[in-house]
Chains A and B, each alone.
Chain A
Amino acid sequence: KANGESTFGAVRITSLVPSLGCSPSKAPGHSSLPVVQRNGPCAAKSVSKPNHLQSLAQDSLRVASLQEIVSGVSRGNDTVLLGSQISIPARSGLYLGTGNYVITVGFGTPTKSQTVIFDTGSNVNWIQCKPCLVSCYSQQEPLFDPLLSSTYRNVTCAASACLELTSRGCSGTTCLYGVTYGDGSSTVGFLAIDTFTLTSTKVFSNFIFGCGQNNRGLFRGAAGLIGLGRSPYSLNSQTASSLGNIFSYCLPSTSSSTGYLNIGNPLRTTVAYTPMITDSRAPTLYFIDLVGITVGGTRLELSPTVFQSVGTIIDSGTVITRLPPAAYSALRTAFRAAMTQYPLAPAASILDTCYDFRNSATLTYPVIKLLYTNLEVTLPATGVFYVISSAQVCLAFAGNSDSSQ
């Protein structure tokens, strides 16, 4: 112990591994939405489930696309099509990654449930819509049909909601939106307004979203996406006038349990804060001031500028935390030095510090703290390890490939 705090933690291996059944957590409030990992037993059966190595590879592509957005290095303009006649420009953008977490919300009047990915790195909300003029992929719920909603209407090209879109077009007087993701997945359709049901007590009229008519790519059964970024089109921005522009979420430790998303004041009273930073390189992303890391009670010998010179994003859609090379190297060295009693296991993709715990029921590990301005965050065991199997449990951090990233 240091200053009365434990510098090592102990955890049963079995508690890190998801069980086969779903054990939903009790919702903390009637106005919060359940959050589930889309490939776990708490979610509806997905179309395809990536394995761990595929997930980590997709995570690397998401990270690469975030790096490109921040660095401003564009992969050039792209064109997305709605039918053969209408095309609109769309810059390649964020890679969706594993799109790990989903929520179920409602669109239209009467409301129709749709299970969508939620993502703090995205801004445009969209769902697949009938009549699917060009293409739709299969999804778990019936497709949203605007004709069955008494409150649905398309946005016109002259409306400010259309004019402020980054990627837009027109079909006659009807506004078109387009989003191209970094992996080539895309959605194009009509910019629409309808009633949006977050929960039974949080219903919003005049919600702007994309009604997708040409949807292609790796969305794997989700009806669409809800963005929680900082642009005016995100869910939190659109509900800000009634709920304040504040939201909170709790991500469950394994895929066999559930978390929640809450728009409005946080549900917990004991919240410790650190400044949210706006970075002009990517103003719709959330930057946070990471300044240091402790491992086993000892602060890594790193200047805060190692982190601050490049900046740090907090993102719900990236799985594994990426650190500047010097920081990751120091973290890995300190962690390995405290774990010498366990046999190393082969690396798994980007995760190079893995252990074989087959002969251990309980593991002891050095406590890791992330140090932010005015705030220390002590990671639980589920925030330290990425479990592939009991024979391959990995330190869930990775390094960027060069210090300028």
Chain B
Amino acid sequence: EPEPQIENEHLRVRFDPIMGHLLEIQNLAKGISLPVFQSFYWYNASAGDGLSPQASGAYIFRPDAATPVPVAKRAATHLLKTALVQEVQQNFSQWCSQVLRLRPGQPYLELEWTVGPIPVGDGLGKEVISRFETPLRTAGRFYTDSNGRQVLQRRAHLGTPGAGQSTPGAGQSTPEPRPTLLTPVPPVQDQKVQLTVLTDRSQGGSSLQDGSLELMVHRRLLHDDNRGLAEALDEPGADGRGLVVRGRHLVLLDTVEASPEQHRPRAQEMVTPPTVVLAPGTGPHLRQP
């Protein structure tokens, strides 16, 4: 389609027809639209260098460079629209794909990502992130929630004073136990918009550029970080070729005021989803207690 998009009664989501990436999310009821670019990158894990012999490892996230490498410049996509789901399936590479879904009645965009086995034939450990980029002017601040108990403001510390550029590293990554919120820092009056990303597990995350949010979804390292394990963080996975991980991010776009009421129940549904049990034939005739 010249203008690939998926839509339900709450959201319209547009995609780049050439590169296949997410382009924009529109909250139809509130008349909010926010350009949102999302893609996958990998940081080259440091094996120690002239600055420090410290390698990236289980205890330390220490990338070899401040800028991650894109997994792919573009994504091969397949658009599927049925009565119950509209989805765009993106294939970035042999080891990185994602499905973006909208279902009727669902006020959030579901991104189901599958990453692995991470190739290390080039001798480089890789730390894979999913990064969201928006024009929100957030002044280097973002917010994390911890299961609805405590929303904390986080800010990228800019290293030496006056350094405008913050660089990734252990100090920059915060554990994202639950929703990670990207919202302008009040009192920026013209920005009432909040982008919330719900994770289905704890992930490292940060916001290194204004309006951007990155979450670490998978890592595969080749060197021990010399903190006592005496082995690299290199999980073999079921078939020994390297661990494959599948997870979900739920993305909500709403006003700052309305967002907590949206993301809190979604987070609980993510942690305690309904249990699906199957039975052959007509199964037990269950009475409601």
Do these two chains really belong together in a complex? no
Residues of A within 8 A of B (CB): none
Residues of B within 8 A of A (CB): none
